[in-house]
């Protein structure tokens, strides 16, 4: 039988500590809430009162339940108040020496059988535990912010943590309505180890002026369905906190350069630009602590006139290709009112593409998202062809053929001969260098990348990829076209992976390396990222959907171009692809899909 916890202590009543107090008190457990001073104690009390009052206002907590919750909390200054609790959770700032001093004092104050837990998100639980005479009773219980809302708890055992202590804490998490993942004491645990490499990479992308803060954040929200963009998330976490976590992970985690804090982070911390809590970080906020972003000197002008400034007029669009992406792009342009010429290799393929577009448009009608008149008008704007010569008078060509450079270069060389001067030639490549395609023509200034996401009629994002030869007029035209389609266009340079894939796939690769090292299971890693970070899919779910072969190819391209050791494809990913385990499409990837 698991131990029954009747009273717990919480040390440190900042945002996280106060949230942990609320979690326990909500579940009928008496809490001794401890701070270093009366002023800090009152701030913690105000945080808890504010949180519970908001819950009452939103109808998520009855007034009587709030009052009962608050009555379970005993507010105290000093650690001596914790002499009789069954469990203590420490939630003070992320400084090892501070935590060690607190644990040494808790060891003296608390009864012998009490469990001592740390909420650290990055420090070594083992190093904290050796400050006590009971390291077998020390464990990590890492809640996520905001603790009352987030379902995940990482339970971190050291090599000497008692199995009974682990079992008791796991049972406690279940009582609290949390989903726990139990892991060993490693830098960053699961969620932070995967999250902060991605965040650090995004800051590096911004620091190098590869893309604007708005475009980086929009790309990851709209392209991956993430709840927040990486730079906005850094502001929420706090740049000082992020720096400490990254620095600790770098030093504890084998000095992986992926976790070496980007210099800009330290510069911003030194300048007091800490994010929301200071009122300014990557963005500027209404006031310190406010989530409301206000315009500053870096905020882009986003009026329609500015988007169209210098853009060429586009009325007729050619789409080359017969796959899923080409079909979706045809539908997108036709529904937006453009005249479209669809070019495929042969009448049979044209007929299949035509049928696929009709099927998709009919689904729109059935779902009430498109009228029958709108469907018929969209189909009436499309001309079906099997010859490139019919593109002689279009204003824009969008290429969506197979991802092979030789095929694309040959196509663009042909388009160069056929198309009239001034036509914008766009490639939808997701991984190949756009400049290589552009240089197959005599008009590289007119060539640009327009990377639509699949399914194109639904996904709101388009990456607009400028090469060093792309003209300002061509770029302006691409931005105006995306706006005309109702899409969000994000502008970036011609670098492997562009924005989304360059940030997404190293994170997925890191997850595979974590599994490969037997640090955790695929299920627990997926739980950690979905429940701890709010991701719509865990990394292994996503890898099986994307296809392990596709993921490996993209990761190889990133590694080949950037030569960053941390980007080297995980051997396990290569082995699974070699074995034919490609994900859902083959029936097996990281999971067996034939049994579902």
Return the CATH architecture of domain 500-586: Orthogonal Bundle (1.10)
The yes-or-no answer on residue 192 being catalytic is: yes
Catalytic residue among 22, 154, 244, 463: 154
Q: What is the mean pLDDT of the chain?
A: 92
Task: Assign residue 273 a region (left: φ > 0; alpha: ψ between -120 and 50; beta: otherwise).
Answer: beta
Task: Assign residue 469 a region (left: φ > 0; alpha: ψ between -120 and 50; beta: otherwise).
Answer: alpha
Of 113, 119, 104, 128, residue with least CA distance to 155: 119
- Residue 572's SS3 state is helix
Q: Do 191-278 and 500-586 have matching folds?
A: yes
257-280 tens-digit pLDDT: 888 999 999 999 999 999 999 999
H helices of 238-339, in order, are: 239-252, 263-270, 304-308, 324-335
190-199 tens-digit pLDDT: 988 899 999 9
Contact (Cβ atoms closer than 8 angstroms) between residue 340 and residue 381: yes
- At residue 307, the pLDDT reads 53
Strand pairing report for 30-35 and 7-11: parallel
CA 131 to CA 140: how far, in whole Å?
14
Res. 254: pLDDT tops 80: no
For the residues 82-102, what does the mean pLDDT come to? Answer: 94
314-362 tens-digit pLDDT: 999 999 998 889 999 999 999 999 999 999 998 889 999 999 999 999 9
For the residues 388-406, what does the mean pLDDT come to? Answer: 93
Tell me the domain boundaries of the chain.
7-185, 191-278, 304-494, 500-586
Contact (Cβ atoms closer than 8 angstroms) between residue 94 and residue 127: no
Of 255, 249, 137, 269, residue with least CA distance to 203: 269
Q: Which CATH number fits domain 191-278: 1.10.1040.10, 1.10.287.3510, 1.10.760.10, 3.40.50.620?
A: 1.10.1040.10
For the residues 107-121, what does the mean pLDDT come to? Answer: 95
Q: In what order do the strands lie in the sheet with 316-320?
A: 382-385, 339-343, 316-320, 396-399, 424-427, 447-452, 461-466, 488-493
- At residue 596, the pLDDT reads 62
Residue with token string 């908001």: 54
Catalytic residue among 129, 192, 322, 431: 192
For the residues 467-484, what does the mean pLDDT come to? Answer: 95
- At residue 87, the pLDDT reads 97
For the residues 229-254, what does the mean pLDDT come to? Answer: 89
CA 131 to CA 111: how far, in whole Å?
16
Res. 445: pLDDT tops 60: yes
- At residue 305, the pLDDT reads 47
Contact (Cβ atoms closer than 8 angstroms) between residue 571 and residue 513: no
520-576 tens-digit pLDDT: 899 999 999 999 888 999 999 999 999 999 899 989 988 988 888 888 999 999 999
Which residues fall within 8 angstroms of residue 91, CB to CB, at 6 or more apart? 10, 11, 12, 13, 14, 16, 17, 20, 119
Q: Which residue has the higher pLDDT, 325 or 431?
A: 325
Topology at the third CATH level for domain 304-494:
Rossmann fold (3.40.50)
What stretches of 131-268 adopt beta strand conformation (E)? 138-143, 152-157, 179-184
Catalytic residue among 22, 90, 119, 121: 121
The yes-or-no answer on residue 509 being catalytic is: no
DSSP per-residue letters across 231-264: HHHHHHH-HHHHHHHHHHHHHHTT--GGGSPPHH
Catalytic residue among 22, 51, 129, 142: 142
Percent of the residues in the chain that have a pLDDT greater than 70, as a whole number? 98
Banded pLDDT at 223 (limits 50, 70, 90): very high
Topology at the third CATH level for domain 7-185:
Rossmann fold (3.40.50)
CA 570 to CA 418: how far, in whole Å?
44
| CA 504 to mean position of chain CA atoms | 7
Contact (Cβ atoms closer than 8 angstroms) between residue 247 and residue 262: no
Contact (Cβ atoms closer than 8 angstroms) between residue 265 and residue 239: yes
Banded pLDDT at 308 (limits 50, 70, 90): low
Residue with token string 């190098």: 208
- At residue 302, the pLDDT reads 63
């Amino acid at each position: 039988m698991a131990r029954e916890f009747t009273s717990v202590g919480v040390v440190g009543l900042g945002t996280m500590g106060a949230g942990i107090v609320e979690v326990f008190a909500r579940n009928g457990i008496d809490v001794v809430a401890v701070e270093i001073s009366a002023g800090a104690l009152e701030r913690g009390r105000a945080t808890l009162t504010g949180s519970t009052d908001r819950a009452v206002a939103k109808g998520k907590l009855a007034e009587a339940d709030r009052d009962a919750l608050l009555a379970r909390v005993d507010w105290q200054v000093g650690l001596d108040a914790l002499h009789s609790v069954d469990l203590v959770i420490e939630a003070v700032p992320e400084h090892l020496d501070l935590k060690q001093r607190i644990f040494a004092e808790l060891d003296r104050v608390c009864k012998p059988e009490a469990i001592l837990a740390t909420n650290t998100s990055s420090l070594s639980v083992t190093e904290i535990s050796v400050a006590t005479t009971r390291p077998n009773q020390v464990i990590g219980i890492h809640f996520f912010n905001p603790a009352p809302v987030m379902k995940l708890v990482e339970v971190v055992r050291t090599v000497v943590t008692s199995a009974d202590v682990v079992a008791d804490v796991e049972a406690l998490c279940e009582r609290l309505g949390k989903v726990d993942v139990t892991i060993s004491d490693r830098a960053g645990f699961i969620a932070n180890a995967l999250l902060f490499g991605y965040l650090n990479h995004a800051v590096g992308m911004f620091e190098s002026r590869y893309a604007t803060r708005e475009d980086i954040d929009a790309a990851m929200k709209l392209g991956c369905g993430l709840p927040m963009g990486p730079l906005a998330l850094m502001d929420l976490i706090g740049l000082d906190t992020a720096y400490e976590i990254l620095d600790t992970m770098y030093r504890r985690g084998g000095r992986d350069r992926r976790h070496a804090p980007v210099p800009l982070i330290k510069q911003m911390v030194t300048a007091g630009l800490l994010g929301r809590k200071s009122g300014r970080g990557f963005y500027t906020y209404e006031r310190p602590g406010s989530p409301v972003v206000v315009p500053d000197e870096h905020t882009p002008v986003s009026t329609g006139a500015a988007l169209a400034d210098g853009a060429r007029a586009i009325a007729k669009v050619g789409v080359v290709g017969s796959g899923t992406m080409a079909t979706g792009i045809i539908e997108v342009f036709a529904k937006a009112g453009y005249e479209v010429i669809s070019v495929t290799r042969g009448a049979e393929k044209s007929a299949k593409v035509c049928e696929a577009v009709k099927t998709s448009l009919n689904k729109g009608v059935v779902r009430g998202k498109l009228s029958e008149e709108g469907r018929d008008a969209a189909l009436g704007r499309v001309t079906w062809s099997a010859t490139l010569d019919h593109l002689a008078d279009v204003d824009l060509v969008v290429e969506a053929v197979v991802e092979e450079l030789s095929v694309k270069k040959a196509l663009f060389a042909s388009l160069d001969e056929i198309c009239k001067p001034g036509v914008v030639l766009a490639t939808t490549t997701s991984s190949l260098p756009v400049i290589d395609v552009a240089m197959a023509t005599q008009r590289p200034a007119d060539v640009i990348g327009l990377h639509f996401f699949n399914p194109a009629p639904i996904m709101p994002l388009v990456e607009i990829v400028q090469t060093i030869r792309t003209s300002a007029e061509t770029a302006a035209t691409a931005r105006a076209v995306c706006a005309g389609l109702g899409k969000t266009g994000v502008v970036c340079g011609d670098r492997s992976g562009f924005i989304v894939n360059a940030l997404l796939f190293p994170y997925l690769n890191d997850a595979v390396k974590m599994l490969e090292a037997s640090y955790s299971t695929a299920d627990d890693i997926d739980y950690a990222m979905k429940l701890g970070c709010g991701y719509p899919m865990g990394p292994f779910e996503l890898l099986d959907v994307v296809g392990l072969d596709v993921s490996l190819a993209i990761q190889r391209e990133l590694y080949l171009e950037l030569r960053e050791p941390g980007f080297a494809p995980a051997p396990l990913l290569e082995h699974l692809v070699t074995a034919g385990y490609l994900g859902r499409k083959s029936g097996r990837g990281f999971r067996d899909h034939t049994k579902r």
